[in-house]
Structures are given as structure tokens and as C-alpha cells.
Amino acid sequence: MSSSHTSLATTCLAAGLFLSGCQFGSTPETPAQPFFFRALKLEQRDRLGQPSWALQSPEARYDLGRRVAQARDLQGQLFNRGQLRYRLNATAGTVLNDGEIVQLEGQIKLEAYGNNPFTIRARRGRWFPNRNLLELDYRPIATQRNLQLTANRLRFLIDQDKLELRGRPELQRSGENALKLEVRSAEWFTAKGDLMALGPVVGVRSLANKKEQRLTSPSLTGNSIAQKLLLAAPVRLVDTEKGAVLNALETTVDVGQELIVSALPFNGTMKQARISGGGFMLHSRTQTAIVTSACFLQQPTDSIGANRCFWNWQTNQVSARGDVTLKRQANQQLTRAKRIDGRLGDDGLVVFTSPGGRVNTQLRLPAKSKSPAPSPARQQRSPIEL
């Protein structure tokens, strides 16, 4: 039965009645009574005769004079070019003007079909079937795999596959090592997964020890299908507990892999130490920070350079690997190795203690007083096998 040709009043004639028969008139002594239906079904077709949307309920109460139906266990279907695209469910709903507006209440759920499904959940909403518009509030949540989007209000333009987030929008990575990014406004094109958000972006990254790191960026883009968010430069990450600050350029948040990655140069500080590199990777699952190229650490008494550096922020174990050069001010000591390990102390300084493999060390010893001038042999060069 098409709602574009048949109103709910006419539908009453075809539906099974719960109580009295259909009443199309009333007297001052006998006010019109609402009708109770064993089933309610509304549907709309497009100009080609293909289904546009449908709405069903196992039980409804209809007020003929107000053209209002109150229904429970609402089930809706939304079509695109005749193909089922979304399924809509709600605990209860009020259908106004024979389907012009549907007020949704209780447990509301919109499910998308296709190769990249997603769901939207809310507690209250309004569906405008003929306008292809769904409005949800009370902090609704849209979820696609590990990525969640929430805001005070969501506005879903159904025929455009476009979700607008307004009122404290947040993009979140679910799981133990959660990352929450607050933005000013956001738009999500659900069919292709494209995301755009206006900043400032303020992020909170939760660690396994219940501590937090804060992240900022001017804006972000991304794709929910690829599960990646791209933070615009400059990006700043602050760990107040460890006194660490990281300044980076364009940075990617890989939601699925729980990674924060940049292949561009960065620099940072950790209390008394300064670090820089050609790129970095923060891996929440392994609780490891990696300088992926051109690692350099400068400390008050020494410095170290390597192809790559690793730091486990739970155990504070540190490792420098690949063409490692350790310079100490004491005796101008220079050590070269393939790998040198160490540990980060509470003062924010790394103590390197355990070279691995063949090590080449050079040092300059101070000359003794009243002795001949040091010969070239005084500069000692000794390979050490460990």
C-alpha cells in the first residue's frame, strides 16, 4: 500500500482492528476514539515505481482527527534505486501526518548494507521520509569497525550518504588503547568513507597504565573504510608524566593497527634530552615508540645517532640500532656498534650500558704533567668483542 496514494485513514479499512470498527465521525456526546491496528504498514515508491522507503509496526494506535499514529517496534527500510540500503529500527515511534514525520524513541538503530556496513545508534530522533533526512540527538554513535563517531547531534542526508556531526563531535578508536579526537565540526560521506573535520583537533590518547598523552592539530581528513585519519601539520604530542613533547608534520592515525605514524622529520624533548629523526611510529599494542630513520638523541653528557631507535614506554627499555655512534664528553669517547641498548631513567636521561656485537671505541686520555708530549699512539683505538 503506497502512502503517496492512500492515507492512514484509508489504511484503517484494510487493517485488522484491535478494538472497535473504524469511526469516521463523532458527536459532541461521543468523542472520536482512536483505532488500534494489529499491524501498520506505510510505503513510498519513486516515479519509476521502485520502493523508496517502507515502515512497519506490529501494533499501532491511530488518531483520525490528528492524523497521528503511535506505534511500537518500528521497522523501516530505506532504498536507493530500488535496492535496500538501510534498515531502521526503534522501540517506539509517533507517525505524524500519515508519514510526513516519524518521531523515534527508545533503542534506535540504523544499519547500512553493502561491502562496508556501519551502524548508528541513538535514543531519540526524527525521520523525514520524503526529505531523505534522519536527525538524531542525545549523543548518538556511528560505528564502522574500530572507528566511532559521536556528537550531540547527527544529521544524516540519506540520499547523499552524508553524515553531519554537530555539537562537540568526537572521533574515537575503540579498545583498551583508546584515542579520542575532539573537533569543531565533521562530515562523513558513508558510501566512500571520506571524513573531513575542522579543528582545532584536540586528542587524548589513553595508555595501558591509565596515563594519558595529549595531541593537537589544526584539522584532519581520513577514510573510515581504510580506518585511517590524517592529521594536518603542525602536530604536537605531549606526555606530561614523562615531561615529553613531540613536534611533527603531517601524521597518520591508523585506527585498525593502533598506530600513530609519520614519515616526515620531527623533533622533540624529554626533560633534559632532545631527540630528532626522519620519521616515527607509536604502537599502542606493543607500547613502543620507534624513530624509523636518522635517529639522534642529544643529552647533557653524551649523544647517540643510529639508523633507528626503539623505546618501550612501559619498561623504559631503549635500543639504538644500525650504524650506531655513541659520543661521550668524558675523554671524548667515541663508540661505534651495530646496536647499543640502554634504559630511560626517572630524570629523563638514557643510560646506555650494553653494546651488542663488535664494538669499536676511541677515547682521548689526558696528558700527565711533566711528561713528554703525547705521541699518536696515546690516542687509543681498541676493537672489543662482546
Q: What CATH number corresponds to the domain at position 95?
A: 2.60.450.10
CA 386 → CA 325, 355, 383, distances in Å? 16, 7, 10
As beta bridge partners, residue 189 has 162, 194
Question: What phi-psi label fits residue 99: left (phi over 0), alpha (psi between -120 and 50 degrees) or beta?
Answer: left
At residue 149, φ and ψ (nearest 5 deg) are -125, 130
As beta bridge partners, residue 321 has 308, 339
Asked if 181 contacts 202 with a C-beta cutoff of 8 angstroms, the reply is: yes
Q: How many CB atoms lie within 10 A of CB 216?
A: 16
What does pTM read for this prediction? 0.80
The verdict on residue 24 lying in a domain is yes
SS3 250: coil
Asked if 18 contacts 37 with a C-beta cutoff of 8 angstroms, the reply is: yes
Q: How many CA atoms lie within 13 A of 373 on its CB side?
A: 1
Q: Looking at residue 82, what is its pLDDT?
A: 85
The verdict on residue 39 lying in a domain is yes
Q: Looking at residue 113, what is its pLDDT?
A: 86
The verdict on residue 5 lying in a domain is yes
**How many separate domains does the chain show?**
1
Q: Looking at residue 240, what is its pLDDT?
A: 83
Amino acid (one-letter) located at 141:
I
Q: Looking at residue 211, what is its pLDDT?
A: 74
Q: Looking at residue 176, what is its pLDDT?
A: 67
Q: What is the residue range of 65's domain?
A: 1-138
The verdict on residue 162 lying in a domain is no
The verdict on residue 99 lying in a domain is yes
The verdict on residue 54 lying in a domain is yes
Report the C-alpha gap between 27 and 25 in whole angstroms: 7
Q: Looking at residue 180, what is its pLDDT?
A: 93
Mean pLDDT by 10 residues, the chain (386 residues): 38 34 40 66 88 90 84 92 92 89 95 92 94 93 95 94 95 81 96 95 78 91 96 94 92 93 96 95 91 97 96 92 91 89 89 68 57 48 33
Q: Looking at residue 17, what is its pLDDT?
A: 33
Amino acid (one-letter) located at 130:
N
SS3 332: helix
Name the grid cell of 14.
484494510
SS3 16: coil
The verdict on residue 219 lying in a domain is no
The verdict on residue 352 lying in a domain is no
Q: Looking at residue 6, what is its pLDDT?
A: 37
Q: Looking at residue 10, what is its pLDDT?
A: 35
Q: Which residue has the cell 565540526?
A: 185
As beta bridge partners, residue 268 has 246, 275
Element (H, E) at 14: helix 8-14
Q: Looking at residue 326, what is its pLDDT?
A: 93
Q: Looking at residue 205, what is its pLDDT?
A: 78
Q: Looking at residue 34, what is its pLDDT?
A: 62
Query: What b/e sequence results for 355-386 when a residue is b if at least 16 CB atoms lie within 10 Å of its CB, and e otherwise?
Result: beeebebeeeeeeeeeeeeeeeeeeeeeeeee
